[in-house]
Amino acid sequence: MSQTLTRPPALTRLAEDEALFRDSVYEFADKEVRPLSREMDEHAKMPRELIDKLFDLGVMGIEVPETHAGAGASFFHSVLAVEALSRVDPSVGVLVDVQNTLVINAILRWGNEQIRHRYLPKLASSVVGAYCLSEAGSGSDAFALATRGVERGDGFAITGRKLWITNGNEADVFIVFANVNPEAGYRGITAFLVDRGTPGFTVGKKEDKLGIRASSTCELIFEDCVVPKSAILGEVGKGYKVAIETLNEGRIGIGAQMVGLAQGALDHTVKYVKERKQFGKAIADFQAVQHQIARMAIAVETARLLVYNAARLRDAGLPFLQEAAMCKIVSSEVAESVTSMAINLYGGYGFVKDYPVEKLYRDAKIGQIYEGTSNMQLDTIAKGLLR
């Protein structure tokens, strides 16, 4: 572990104050991430040195049991870490989010002992993971997969392309969904663990994006990529269940990312309105500005409570499907509205890259799109209520 970093208290003493844990991760982000944020956005790249520090901090394997070199903490701790990091840079927040709420979570739930023993220690200490479901013709209709897996001897040969894969450049292990029995529809979908360097597997184009630019989003290409049957996560034909259940939890993580982002925009704005002077006094002294700041704070706290509630329900083993959908749609809308108001209050300065809020505004838009669009979340909520 780096001499300049210490693990947050709640990662080593799990009964400690969760707010202290969140604040400790934020202190790390403020010190280690903030100085790099603008450069990472401009160059659309996250330094490996920073990723290594995240591993040193312990936030890349939060739910991994201590027996597998992880922190052995809760899903709620993962949510707190994502929120705290996203308060400074949502690109870093989503890297940690995908690692914990999707990749590690899926392996913990669906991996056999051999898979857990092989992958969890690496994911907790040095290896980044990616979750590979989306395709060109398979977005909201996630199970219209064109990627195929054909049984071949003791394994399966995977052929197809995946799009918009977060962590694609950084990852060394990929959870890949392919249909091994198209005639069975979604019941043929199977989840595979594929290592970088497997013959027939290449990482393709990295997308040039509007926001969260330091987070890599890549195309993955599979051309007769043979993986052993021991690489199946769960069971053959149960990949749809792996995907659905994991994404339900992943949406809470995106909610946390959006809450952290909105809090960061609010932090910048509160500081700015106290410094910016017009008509002989700080604009924070004007009641209209005060009311706008108050509404921003109310919106952020509302979204935060929805996210925390969904995470608490998940950790308690209670139903959380509707709550996860609610927290994602509200937090993503709050992130967009709060960052927009931040730019308004900054005025002309908010529209230029010398100031931080224009980046957060760009970063916020993806929240209403990935891991389930807002329309899909509304559909989930309505079906639950009307069933």
Place of tokens 């900054």: 346
Among the options 83, 219, 358, 371, which is catalytic? 371
Sign of the Cα torsion 373, 376, 382, 387 reads negative
Contact assessment for residue 72 and residue 13, using Cβ atoms and an 8 Å cutoff: no
As a 3-state breakdown, the chain gives helix, strand, coil percent values, each rounded to 5, of: 60, 15, 25
Q: What gap in Å lies between CA 78 and CA 74, rounded to an integer?
A: 7
| Cross-strand bridge partners of residue 152 | 155
Q: What gap in Å lies between CA 172 and CA 161, rounded to an integer?
A: 17
User: Does the annotation mark 371 as catalytic?
Assistant: yes
**189 phi and psi angles, rounded to 5 deg:** -70, 135
Count of C-beta atoms within a 10 Å radius of residue 286: 14
**H/E stretch holding 322:** helix 321-346
Tokens matching residue 379: 């559909």
The C-alpha angle 332, 337, 338, rounded to 5 degrees, equals 100
Nearest to 142 by CA among 387, 380, 386, 376: 376
Look at strands 217-228 and 155-166 and give their pairing: antiparallel
Nearest to 56 by CA among 2, 123, 120, 127: 2
Q: What length is written for the chain? A: 387
Q: What gap in Å lies between CA 110 and CA 208, rounded to an integer?
A: 33
Tokens matching residue 7: 């693990």
State the catalytic residues.
371
